[in-house]
Structure 1
Amino acid sequence: MTAGTGTGSGPDSGAHCAPSAAVERLVPGDPRLSFDGIAGWDRGGGTWLPLRMPVDRLATAMSANFSRLARTTAGIRFAVRTDARSLELEVEMAADPGGSPLDVRVDGVLTHRWTGGPGRHRIAFPLPGTDGGAAEVEVWLPHLGVTRIAAVTLRGHRHVCAAERTGRRLLVHGSSLTHCMYAAGPSETWPASVAAEHGWRLRNLGFAGEAYLDPLVARTIRDAPADLIVLELGINAYLRGAFTARSWGPAVCGFLETVRDGHRGTPVVVLTPLAAPEREQAVNAAGLTLEDARTMTADAVRVLQRLGDRDLHLLDGLAVVPVADAARLYADGLHPTAEGEQVLAKRIGAHLGSIVPSA
């Protein structure tokens, strides 16, 4: 299987538009599909895997689990403007690491949610009538699975155009709290909901259980287009005892400074760990409590702020999910429920909206 190349986020206008036949089968690389949230393609076996980060340097993370998660399609979607009566997808779902629903939205409204198991699938979705006009049809790929695409077929249409991609670019990175394990669907994670509310373009670099300040991730964010960057840091490092009191703060500073090398003047928001009542005072293998990890993360941000980084912002995780709210928002003491995702979206989105005005 060979790695392809790509610009990463689809076209920025609806320039790709032309009258079409009543039935048309498009390969994923067709610019009219207007993929967003991607870094390129992995092609092979007649299918295309949209990549949310480059895979040529994954070996430097030295983690098979991270390499697997890097191929999941969190935040990846494509959109067309069309008057088609139906949309058909030919996809291949991997058995590992797992799956989640696939969402179809029409003019921003969730129209279909499909959940399928591993293997090859051909799925047809009827589209609502548009009274002769075109609607924006957006397909969100499963955020917890690896989804390869063979083709997208439109039927009963006169026109198909690339969707416009003109909003500000929101890039998020973090743990399973950003990968969003219990979201109802890929278009209803907190990052997706925040982006939809503000008209922003999402790129999700959340890696469940694998947010360890990897240099590979810092360089990927450094090199990626972004108008606003949100980094949810600390919970994985605390849970695994991966850093000591001596090493965590400097590692956070180094990660942030690498990101800043490619984003002078870009607002960067560091979200410290959300409340986890059973873990707040629990001492991990490195001798730290979750409170310690939260405090040290905030201290690292303040060091860089004092050194002159005026575009670096701190968002206290306890302001997003206080200890008193955890029981009603979490599914398992750590991860938000589907309803909890929307509470996070509202609270985090309000903070981000005050930093970067909606375009």
Structure 2
Amino acid sequence: MASLLFETQADTMQTIPLTPELLCGALDLERTAHGLLPHRLPARARAQCADPQLAMAESQPSGVRLVFRTRATVVELDTLPTKRVYVGAPPRPEGRYDLVVDGRPAGSGRVGGGHTLTIDLTTGSAAHRPGPVGTLRFTGLPDTVKVVEIWLPYDEMTELVALRTDAPVEPVPDRPGKVWLHHGSSISHGSAAASPTTTWPALAASLGGVELINVGLSGSALLDPFTARALRDTPADLISVKLGINVVNTDLMRLRAFGPAVHGFLDTIRDGRPDVPLLVVSPILCPMHEDTPGPTLMDVSALQEGRLLFRATGDPADKASGKLTLGVIREELARIVRERSTEDPHLHYLDGRELYGEADFGELPLPDGLHPDAAAHRRMGERFAALAFTPGGAFTDGAA
């Protein structure tokens, strides 16, 4: 098939079959009435939890991209996105698609149309309105053989309907670099990043020269056994798990349950990947939850003013009875990794405040009290790359 790349460029656009070989970063692909829907959890995991938040998060293709080799100068992609509208909240920008050519940013775009999911955060209700397929078009690409990547929006469920180019394409099965498998919360998912290639994990992967599989699941990094099994069963050279904030947000468990749950999560990963460098990352700074337990609730008064703001509703005194705060979680994670690492030399720990801490909050405060903005994502990605991928870092099996 490689020889096709050097044939005379066709005068008309040709439709390219959307096959799994052209997709990177997804753990499963579902055939729908329209095309292919990428998932970031396998079907067996999805079947074990009916939580609509998890279903939404894992079907949003953070880190998922089309990758192919071609000399095409024009590329078109038809997609059917699902766009979210939150009642009373400021309008959300449409999801961005990023174009990368031979490893360098080469453009971005948005897709019109699509389904609309209207969510009322005060009641928890949701309404779905169907919409049409939209088209993304990139032109003026260099007329040379190159590797093209189209990164899908990190925060919009995206069904892939059709791919068209003005020259043949082929998959790129042997991508350079190690595979980095990362799991975390909405911040790892992308939160308020500017685009899919500028979430902090995507930036860190680019700087580290590795291939990213992002299992950051907004609101859903809850130490679920099915997530641990998905990580265990996914081939990877490097693994990181960023744990803690969602357990506080949801007020899901107490200290007595948290420690054993972390052990079980790590045990499951190690069942399939016993010698892979494994980095446990604690939460970044989040002042409202440093010493105050959850649950985290939306500030209704701010929402009525058109602002999205979260607040901690727990009582700091409840720490004595085992309620979790970020300070408690960091101490527990550090202890667990310290004790386990005596028998697991490839296990490492990173305090999340090294990615975003007190000084960063003073300069780049969390706009909604919970999530970093685009500038903070960039800073976190650069710091993670320096801490994990450089000599002496966890992913070189040096000191974390």
Task: Please indicate the TM-score interval, normalised by the length of the shorter structure.
Answer: 0.7 to 0.9
Cα distance in 2 between the residues matched to 1:288 and 1:79 = 42
Q: CA deviation at 1:96?
A: 4.7
Alignment of 1:70-81 (within 5 A): 70-81=58-69
Cα distance in 2 between the residues matched to 1:129 and 1:227 = 33
Q: Match for 1:151 among 142, 146, 162? A: 162
Q: CA deviation at 1:17?
A: 5.5
Alignment partner of 1:122 is 2:135: yes
User: 2:207 is matched with which residue?
Assistant: 197
Q: 1:342 to 1:28 in 2, by over 3 A?
A: same
Cα distance in 2 between the residues matched to 1:176 and 1:57 = 19
Please say if residues 16 and 162 of structure 1, whose CA atoms lie closer than 8 Å, have aligned partners that are also in contact.
no
User: 1:104 is matched with which residue?
Assistant: 99
Cα distance in 1 between the residues matched to 2:40 and 2:341 = 30
Q: CA deviation at 1:262?
A: 0.6
* Larger mean Cα displacement after TM superposition, 22-31 or 78-87: 22-31
User: 2:179 is matched with which residue?
Assistant: 169
Please say if residues 27 and 152 of structure 1, whose CA atoms lie closer than 8 Å, have aligned partners that are also in contact.
yes
Q: CA deviation at 1:108?
A: 2.5
Letter of the 1:161 counterpart? E
Letter of the 1:88 counterpart? E
- CA-to-aligned-CA distance 1:165-213 (integer Å, 9 cap, x gap): 1320001101011001111100111111111112211100011111100
Q: Match for 1:29 among 19, 42, 64? A: 19
User: 2:386 is matched with which residue?
Assistant: 350
Cα distance in 1 between the residues matched to 2:45 and 2:141 = 43
Cα distance in 1 between the residues matched to 2:369 and 2:238 = 29
RMSD after superposition: 2.1
Please say if residues 326 and 333 of structure 1, whose CA atoms lie closer than 8 Å, have aligned partners that are also in contact.
no
Cα distance in 1 between the residues matched to 2:149 and 2:262 = 36
Alignment of 1:1-359 (within 5 A): 18-19=4-5, 22=10, 23-29=13-19, 31=21, 34-96=22-84, 100-117=95-112, 118=114, 119-130=132-143, 133-155=144-166, 157=167, 159-163=168-172, 164-284=174-294, 285=314, 287-306=323-342, 308-329=343-364, 330-353=366-389, 354-357=393-396
Please say if residues 74 and 137 of structure 2, whose CA atoms lie closer than 8 Å, have aligned partners that are also in contact.
yes
TM-score normalised over the length of structure 2:
0.79
Q: CA deviation at 1:88?
A: 0.6
2:37 is paired with a residue of what secondary structure? strand
Letter of the 1:273 counterpart? P
2:241 is paired with a residue of what secondary structure? strand
Unmatched 5+ stretches in structure 2: 86-91, 115-131, 295-313, 315-321
Please say if residues 111 and 135 of structure 2, whose CA atoms lie closer than 8 Å, have aligned partners that are also in contact.
no
Cα distance in 2 between the residues matched to 1:328 and 1:209 = 26
Cα distance in 2 between the residues matched to 1:123 and 1:245 = 48
Letter of the 2:199 counterpart? T
Unmatched 5+ stretches in structure 1: 1-14
Q: Which has the larger radius of gyration?
A: 2
1:249 is paired with a residue of what secondary structure? helix
Q: CA deviation at 1:84?
A: 1.2
* Larger mean Cα displacement after TM superposition, 50-59 or 86-95: 50-59
Letter of the 1:47 counterpart? G
1:287 is paired with a residue of what secondary structure? coil
TM-score normalised over the length of structure 1:
0.88
Q: CA deviation at 1:56?
A: 3.3
Letter of the 1:126 counterpart? T
Letter of the 2:35 counterpart? T
Cα distance in 2 between the residues matched to 1:90 and 1:283 = 44
- CA-to-aligned-CA distance 1:301-341 (integer Å, 9 cap, x gap): 223223x0111100011222122212323333331211111
Cα distance in 2 between the residues matched to 1:346 and 1:56 = 35
Q: CA deviation at 1:67?
A: 1.8
* Larger mean Cα displacement after TM superposition, 293-302 or 340-349: 293-302
User: 1:12 is matched with which residue?
Assistant: none
Cα distance in 1 between the residues matched to 2:201 and 2:184 = 11
Please say if residues 81 and 134 of structure 1, whose CA atoms lie closer than 8 Å, have aligned partners that are also in contact.
yes
Q: CA deviation at 1:104?
A: 1.1
Please say if residues 103 and 141 of structure 1, whose CA atoms lie closer than 8 Å, have aligned partners that are also in contact.
yes
Please say if residues 238 and 276 of structure 2, whose CA atoms lie closer than 8 Å, have aligned partners that are also in contact.
yes
